[in-house]
Structure 1
């Protein structure tokens, strides 16, 4: 297995009042990069989770906080790309910003399990050679995406779990925090509501819970660099009130995270049980490779037809090898943002943004 040099980041705190020019963007959110001369296209997209959300339930101040956090992640990743850096580094940098924000269900701000613990999953993938690193059930690694990168770059393996993953990260000096550092009152309150609803509704709650708030907030990023290489990464705290070591789609290669230079890079969010069963992201890539679909056509088919028919709520961000970006979702909202080769940036929350 080819080994790559390990790249770690010490990112400065990025101000949330960034001078970012907002670009008009159609709801398809596909951006074809028009480049002068022989310059290769670059691009980046991020998400902060898809789910049921209503504009009337969110104040203007809360909306602004989410937009600012998405912009900060875009800025962190795009700065690397526009300076000639690699897509893997851009994805890692963008996700670290979102993991450090208590707004999202990843890193700090992760949701609670049924026994009031926090267990985090993450994965990263290199489109050049399909190399990948994934982990599940970590509790003290400050930035799980960093551990996923270490697993990919330094290990002959792909997937680590629990205490083994923690130990492996510690061997490489990754930053850790006490479990309490990841906890927020907002997530503890969500756990209380989920448990009350489950007690009241029983099986009905279990069949409907993923249509509600209880899995919202998974983060991800996809990128294309000037060398034509794509990368994808995803990070999550999982599902509120999840049971007994449950593992979702995020660390599953081809499920919640996938990248292939022949097609593109993809990151999913939403109802993980369906995303896994549909092998959602590999399916999108295969439709592009074998049926010649565009990234927009393939992603729309899988998200808005296949997953809908199965009953799964989800969203996907994707970038193809030419820099076209699409971000379909079959939910009422998805925290999302993108920046193309020309530096045009766009963030959105609701379906009609």
Structure 2
């Protein structure tokens, strides 16, 4: 009889733990947002003050758009899109306008998005005329029976849904074209001409306790043969689950796919939360809560990427409202804001370029 009671208690614990965070906790509603605009080999001495200011302003602009959604009670999904769209429109980043060129001189765009409430997801790859690929990825999630569409089929679907398109000259920039020309002329690799991965992404927690993640990219300079990186791959570059966390990645996609970076981080954190739920004493639970395990998990997964030979970074938001970064490069364009008053943007490792507190 005692064994049966123990089993029932265990099942009840798991059942409660499987509920959305909002159903488990009656804490004061909070929100968080984290964004990135690429990670890579970044040197403060090689960046002019004007260019640095431009990146900081672009990151803050995206943060402000997402903050406005979340502070007014909007959804995490809407906040993710609100952050990513201006980054796609900004030629500073390798997503949408400003995307890198393929070997054949085209801009091919990838994006994915995921809702932590029900793990619904949408992704597109190899589109060339969609002004904001993140919006197409979301339309795939909400208005199609599929998760992943590619190329001309994805563009046909976008046309049927009335999504905004743009001509090739909208996406093309001289800096990206010059990078491709240098690559071909000097027989360089993509990593030689792309010292950063300009993929953009956002992760968010809304006041209803729901999580979301999204990622958008132009891929790698000179990519060939229809190469696809991690950004549009659910579980590699993007993942969100209310039971664990929301993750968006940027970096050398082949390695992020092999590790399954986004889902790996979320899975490890979900198991940690189950461990906390099973803790036999309040002292043990309190001790576990005081440990910065989300950061440790993210750092450990990024170390695995590094050990395989890859580099890049991730942004994470947890159900508890933590907004975190982890990267194994010298810098990552990034920002975060929370309902507790945090507002930061940063570029280089261990340096906050701009921070402010709101009352």
TM range, smaller chain: 0.7 to 0.9
- Residues 206-233 of structure 1: CA deviation (Å, up to 9, x unaligned): 4xx4376266210000000000000000
**Higher-Rg member (1/2):** 2
More helix by share: 2
Task: Provide the C-alpha distance between the structure 2 equivalents of 1:112 and 1:157, rounded to a whole number of angstroms.
Answer: 28
Match of 1:102 among 91, 104, 121: 91
Task: Provide the C-alpha distance between the structure 2 equivalents of 1:197 and 1:54, rounded to a whole number of angstroms.
Answer: 23
Aligned residue in 2 for 1:175 = 164
Task: Provide the C-alpha distance between the structure 2 equivalents of 1:112 and 1:164, rounded to a whole number of angstroms.
Answer: 21
Q: Extract unaligned runs of 5+ from structure 2.
A: 1-25, 274-291, 352-359
Query: Contact 2:94 / 2:198 at 8 angstroms: preserved in 1?
Result: yes
TM-score relative to the length of structure 1: 0.85
Task: Provide the C-alpha distance between the structure 1 equivalents of 2:312 and 2:262, rounded to a whole number of angstroms.
Answer: 11
Shift of 1:317: 0.2
Shift of 1:45: 0.5
Aligned residue in 1 for 2:258 = 277
Aligned residue in 1 for 2:312 = 314
Task: Provide the C-alpha distance between the structure 2 equivalents of 1:188 and 1:38, rounded to a whole number of angstroms.
Answer: 51
- Partner SS for 1:267: strand
2:327 is aligned with 1:329: yes
RMSD over equivalenced CA pairs, Å? 1.4
Task: Provide the C-alpha distance between the structure 2 equivalents of 1:175 and 1:324, rounded to a whole number of angstroms.
Answer: 34
Match of 1:47 among 36, 55, 59: 36
- Partner SS for 1:327: strand
Superposed counterparts of 1:87-98, under 5 Å: 87-98=76-87
Shift of 1:325: 1.3
The structure showing larger relative contact order (alpha-carbon pairs under 8 Å, at least 6 residues apart) is 1
Task: Provide the C-alpha distance between the structure 1 equivalents of 2:143 and 2:325, rounded to a whole number of angstroms.
Answer: 32
Superposed counterparts of 1:188-207, under 5 Å: 188-198=177-187, 205-206=188-189
Aligned residue in 2 for 1:262 = 243
Q: Which range is displaced more, 73-82 or 189-198?
A: 189-198
2:65 is aligned with 1:66: no
2:127 is aligned with 1:138: yes
Task: Provide the C-alpha distance between the structure 2 equivalents of 1:68 and 1:188, rounded to a whole number of angstroms.
Answer: 24
